[in-house]
Amino acid sequence: MYASYFGLQRKPFSLQPDASFIFLGRRHKLAFHLLQYGLLEETALTVITGEIGAGKTTLIQYVMENILDEVEVGVITHTHSNFGHIMRSIAGAFGIKSADADNHGLYEAFVAHIRDVYASGKRAVLVIDEAQNLSLDTLEEMRMLLNINTGEHFMLQIVLVGQPELLELLKRPELVQLVQRIGISHHLDRLDQQETLAYIRHRLRLAGATRDLFNDLACAAVHFFSSGTPRLINQLCDFSLVYAFSDDKESVTFETVCEVAETRIASGLSAYRPLPDDLTVDRLKQRLMAELYPPDRPADAPAAAPRGRASSG
């Protein structure tokens, strides 16, 4: 709706994961390189965790789009606690026909497929998103799948992606043998204020923006209310552009972001960070101004210089 008004070629802040918009802040960049390293070094089991909306799925999409040619990937995005369901999902992820097969038949068909993949000079990588939903028994079955690997090289690698609850599950004593197989584990943190500023402008630039539609103070307000969570940043920026468009404004201001955030918080249907009782909007503005433009900053130094490297994907 607002795209043409602001000179944009496409929507910059969709809530759907889109690897073409990926921004690699420090922790996301490290996660990307760790995943690459794990695939190259044939790590048996990799675990990536992060809070809701931290960008895990987008990162996995980006990795899968830039994966090695000699790797066949199967991705499961909907998990179930029952292994019969997950085994059927695994078979489906690799295109294995399984209409009439029972659990044992599915397993045997999967093992045969993995061996065929290996014989063709490739390796298989199974990616399970939302892995915190798996039961203890199902996670233990993941270890059994890794037993397909024999000899010097791995035929199958598994990447578990999930919310922090996955880490708590993996700490259970029943899963000690599975944990011993973990070669790489990484937790995605939220973006800091400087990365949030860079993230917003990165996505706007990819959407076709030729000028800054959010000033520094507006970006800082987005970071405050979103706590640096990418999904909440997208939501808040999207609605802020709608508000600015509705008010015939040329750009998004601090006041626009605060109006959107406070309206959503008042509805009770928001995950935004509310203002504490001792902090008014005016005092928040003063605090963010002090953070963006500290008194000891040289006059010619840029405000909130982004630390994360942006990638166009």
Please report which helix (H) or strand (E) contains residue 45, including its range.
strand 45-50
Residues 36 and 29: their CA atoms lie apart, in Å, by: 11
CATH annotation of 26-188: 3.40.50.300
Q: Write down the mean pLDDT value for the chain.
A: 88
Q: Provide the pLDDT confidence category of residue 42 given band limits of 50, 70 and 90.
A: confident
How many other CB atoms are found less than 10 A from the CB of residue 20?
Answer: 12
* Residue 302 CB contacts under 8 Å (≥ 6 apart), including other chains: none
Q: What are the tens digits of pLDDT across the range 77-110?
A: 877 665 557 888 888 899 987 666 777 888 889 9
> Taking residues 45-55, what's their average pLDDT?
94
Closest CA to 287 of 298, 299, 275: 275
Specify whether the CB–CB gap between 45 and 158 falls below 8 A.
Answer: yes
Average pLDDT over residues 51-73: 87
The stretch 238-249 carries a mean pLDDT of 97
30-50: average pLDDT? 91
User: Partners of 184 in the beta sheet?
Assistant: 46
Which residue has tokens 């992606």?
161
Q: What residues contact 293, with CB distance under 8 A and at least 6 apart?
A: 303
Are 197 and 216 contacting, i.e. CB atoms less than 8 angstroms apart?
A: yes
Could you state, in order of their start, the residue ranges of all structural domains in the chain?
26-188, 193-306
Burial of 278 (0-12, 13-18, 19+ CB in 10 A): exposed
What predicted TM-score, i.e. pTM, was given to this entire model?
Answer: 0.86
Position 308 confidence tier, pLDDT thresholds 50, 70, 90: very low
d(CA 33, CA 165): 23
